[in-house]
Amino acid sequence: MSLVNLPPKPGGFIPRDRTWQPDGLTPTYKTSVRRSPQAPLLSFPSTLSEETSPVFGHHLIGPLDNDLILNYAQPGQSAIGPRIIVHGRVLDELGRGVAGALVEFWQANAGGRYRHKKESYQAALDPNFGGCGRTITGADGSYEFRTIQPGPYPWPNGMNDWRPAHIHFSLFGHGFAQRLITQMYFEGDPLIKRCPIVGVLKSQEAVDALTAPLDMHQSVPMDCLAYKFDMVLRGQRQTYFENRKEGL
Amino acid sequence: MVQKLHDYLRESPSQTAGPYVHIGCTPNFTGIDIYGGDLGTSMKTGPVQGTEITIKGTVFDGMGAPLRDAMIEIWQPDAAGLFPSANETRGTPDPNFTGWGRSPGDMETGEFTFDTVKPGAVPYPDGRMQAPHITAWIVARGINIGLHTRIYFDDEQVANAADPVLSRIEHQNRVPTLLAKKEAAGLYRFDIHLQGPAETIFFDI
Ligand SMILES: [Fe+3]
């Protein structure tokens, strides 16, 4: 065992704060009742199986993958709706940018309608809007994409439940333990506080963490408004000490 | 007063993947032709080392109904126990194996299928060897935060008996919920039960 002059190595992931994250069973979101585990989760320290993950290279991303206004549109046409830029950084719990993270996003169109066989809302499809995009974060964890502001939509839960306007995000960092899916809401939306899915969050601070402010600094005059949305993945301890017993 | 840990951030709160996760993660599966194909559809980019296997399974809710709107991802080492990851430092993994698969399940039945290789063994942090296993992650409408589990193999009795994770399970009668059952040469079944007497063990890792 040596304690001298070792470079830092990634250690285990910081345990997930289950007092902050939503519980599985949240009866006001009815579908969770039959889809939430009833036994306690089994805890163990992260191993290589959770501390590694696939590598997604920038070559994966096509030029329009982060432009939902154009990536499904006919040539010369574009999606209908308020044009917005969504941008921000993917950080870890230690405040460091997560470079090379795969960020995938999907959303309803400006009328609140998804392009999906099982979608039953009567709002019209937009022939020029597919509703999905993806990008990979830069060296500082930054990302951006262009889209239209999605509309709110009704969903079967309570008698008259409506989702606030939102964009779904899937995040893939550097370890499978960091895998996360979440949603972004828009500042000022009166439906946020009425939504049973937002309602699974345990504090106003958690709701605020998923609510993107309007960002006039990045808004493009006569073209696009902007919203800034940072996301945080689990952090990984750095260890300077090789104090594990190896080879037992 | 003490100094504040002000540089530290909180993990973004999770929200359900919702009923349309497939639009975002496997759009081609939903009929949105984009990107030249869905990520994670194939785990092999050429001839692979080791034993090729297929794993099939279905995710069931507490009423025994199959989920048809789930997304399942798996992550595993190659046949030699090496991960195709940037942070793999122990050797060079099989260049034709991605280690990562993503399945939306069958449109009608919800059954997922992964064509992969039998994983090699990987050490636990204390140096003991773990039994061969695959890490799995399940998201769907009604699941507020993605569920982590592991797929072990029922034909690895000796390695399973010595596995550091399996051996810390208090209720050993639940261990079979983590075992893929061999149905034929190269074919395993791993059903996932979100609730009920056969509830799969899920992990907080
Ligand atoms: Fe949605």
Task: Name the active-site residue from A89, A113, A163, A174.
Answer: A163
For tokens 């090496």, the residue is B82
Pick the CATH number of A51-232 from 2.60.130.10, 3.30.230.10, 1.10.3720.10, 3.30.930.10: 2.60.130.10
Catalytic, A58? Answer no
The model's confidence at residue A247, banded by pLDDT at 50, 70 and 90, is very low
Instruction: Give the one of B13, B99, B137 whose C-beta lies nearest to A210's C-beta.
Output: B13
Residue A224 CA neighbour count, 13 Å, CB half: 21
Per-residue CA distances from A23 to A26, A80, B70, B89 (Å): 7, 37, 18, 36
Mean pLDDT for the stretch of residues A214-218: 98
Classify residue A25 by burial, with Cβ atoms within 10 Å: 0-12, 13-18, 19+. Answer: middle
Amino acid at A118: K
Q: What is the pLDDT of residue B1?
A: 83
Q: Per the CB < 8 Å rule, is A47 touching B75?
A: no
Active site residue A72: no
State the Rg of chain A over Cα: 20
- Residue B167: helix, strand or coil by DSSP? helix
Which residues, 6 or more positions from A214, have their beta carbon under 8 angstroms from its beta carbon? Answer: A186, A187, A188, A225, A226, A227
Task: Say yes or no for a CB contact (<8 Å) between B14 and A180.
Answer: yes
Task: Report how far ligand 1's centroid is from the alpha carbon of B61 (Å).
Answer: 21
pTM for the complete prediction?
A: 0.95
Helix (H) or strand (E) holding A204: helix A204-209
pLDDT tens, position by position, B40-92 = 999 999 999 999 999 999 999 999 999 999 999 999 999 999 999 988 889 99
Residue A189 touches chain B, beta carbons under 8 Å: no
Question: Which of A45, A118, A176 faces B19 most closely, judged by CB atoms?
Answer: A118
Identify the pLDDT of residue A4: 44
Q: Does A127 touch chain B (CB under 8 A)?
A: no
- Whether A7 has a pLDDT exceeding 70, the answer reads no
**Residue A2 reports pLDDT greater than 50:** no
pLDDT category, A241, cuts 50, 70, 90?
A: low
Distance between CA atoms of B129 and B145, rounded to whole angstroms? 29
Give all domains of chain B, ordered by start, each with its CATH number.
17-193 (2.60.130.10)
Q: What is the pLDDT of residue A12?
A: 87
Please indicate whether residue A116 is annotated as part of the active site.
no
First to last CA, chain B: 33
Nearest CA-CA distance, residue A232 and chain B, Å: 5
Q: Is A166 a catalytic residue?
A: yes
Chain B CB within 8 Å of residue A35 CB: yes
Chain position carrying tokens 């009425």: A194
CA atoms in the 13 A half-sphere facing the CB of A186: 21
Give percent above pLDDT 70 in chain A: 92
A54·B75 Cβ contact <8 A: yes
A147 — pLDDT class (breaks 50, 70, 90): very high
Residue pLDDT, tens place only, A72-127: 999 999 999 999 999 999 999 999 999 999 999 999 999 999 999 888 899 999 99
Interface check for A1 against chain B (CB to CB < 8 A): the answer is no
- pLDDT the model gives residue A74: 97
| Lowest mean pLDDT, pick from A44-48, B94-98, B142-146 | A44-48
Q: How confident is the model at residue B162 (pLDDT cuts 50, 70, 90)?
A: very high
Cα(A73)–Cα(A129) distance, rounded to whole angstroms? Answer: 6
Identity of residue A46 = S
Catalytic, A143? Answer no
CB-CB: which of A44, A72, A244 is closest to B168?
Answer: A44
- Within 8 A of A36 by CB-CB distance, chain B residues are 142-144, 194-195
Compute the distance from residue A183 Cα to the ligand 1 centre, in Å.
8
Cβ of A246 and B204 within 8 Å? Answer: no
DSSP A155-179: ESSSTTEEEPSEEEEEEE-SSGGG-
Distance B18 CA to ligand 1 centre (A): 6
Question: From CA A85, how far away is CA B126, in angstroms rounded?
Answer: 47
